[in-house]
A and B are shown apart, each in its own frame.
Chain A
Amino acid sequence: DAGVTQSPTHLIKTRGQHVTLRCSPISGHKSVSWYQQVLGQGPQFIFQYYEKEERGRGNFPDRFSARQFPNYSSELNVNALLLGDSALYLCASSSHGQAYEQYFGPGTRLTVT
């Protein structure tokens, strides 16, 4: 079975631009979470979606948004990119939500110049 997949692997954007990151969960998993990991730090929680509804939101500005589709895949959108948005963006899926173990994808490395 395929694990969690994310696309693209790497991305370079310019300040002020918009970016869309994609995630496909493990088959049968209904929960997807997004994290931002800056170099040298632990992952920071951005969003959790379960059954296509937002269930949790971290302390991120409204420039960050996400959605989950009927097939449980998910997109993370970031508008008006700032240099500080440069990070590894991780997607994780789980069968029921945060009370269960999460399976992480390899991440998307975003560089904002």
Chain B
Amino acid sequence: SQQGEEDPQALSIQEGENATMNCSYKTSINNLQWYRQNSGRGLVHLILIRSNEREKHSGRLRVTLDTSKKSSSLLITASRAADTASYFCATDGTGGFKTIFGAGTRLFVKA
């Protein structure tokens, strides 16, 4: 079973708008990561946030983590058509030797 649950399942926006995706998980974590996947190809690592961090930025990406609510959000600002992809959150679970992915959010950015 998958620990992470992304919301929404799909999101369609216009170029230039912001996109927000949410992830919830079930058990304690050491870190949470976000990945992007284009058209069923390999995943690309976007950002890692550790359990003692609350917010992290990388370019147009902003990730927040609320361990009390077991949730995280990924914000993509000023979206571009090239941002069209599936986005997954992944948690390390207990022991740190197993990475659990959610089902993903499919983002469509219309030019």
By a beta-carbon cutoff of 8 Å, the part of chain A in contact with chain B is 4, 33, 35, 37, 39, 41-45, 48, 50, 55-59, 88, 90, 92, 97-107
Contact present for A101 and B33 (CB under 8 Å): yes
Known: A98-B92, A99-B30. A42 touches B99 (CB 8 A): no
Known: A42-B103, A42-B104. A102 touches B97 (CB 8 A): no
Question: How many pairs of A and B residues are in contact by the CB < 8 Å rule?
Answer: 70
By a beta-carbon cutoff of 8 Å, the part of chain B in contact with chain A is 1-2, 4, 30-31, 33, 35, 40-45, 48, 88, 92, 95-104
Ordered by A's residue number, 26 sampled pairs between the chains whose C-beta atoms are within 8 Å are A4-B42, A37-B40, A41-B103, A42-B2, A42-B88, A43-B43, A44-B2, A45-B98, A57-B98, A58-B98, A88-B40, A92-B43, A97-B97, A98-B96, A98-B97, A98-B98, A98-B99, A100-B48, A101-B45, A102-B99, A103-B45, A104-B35, A104-B42, A104-B44, A104-B45, A105-B42
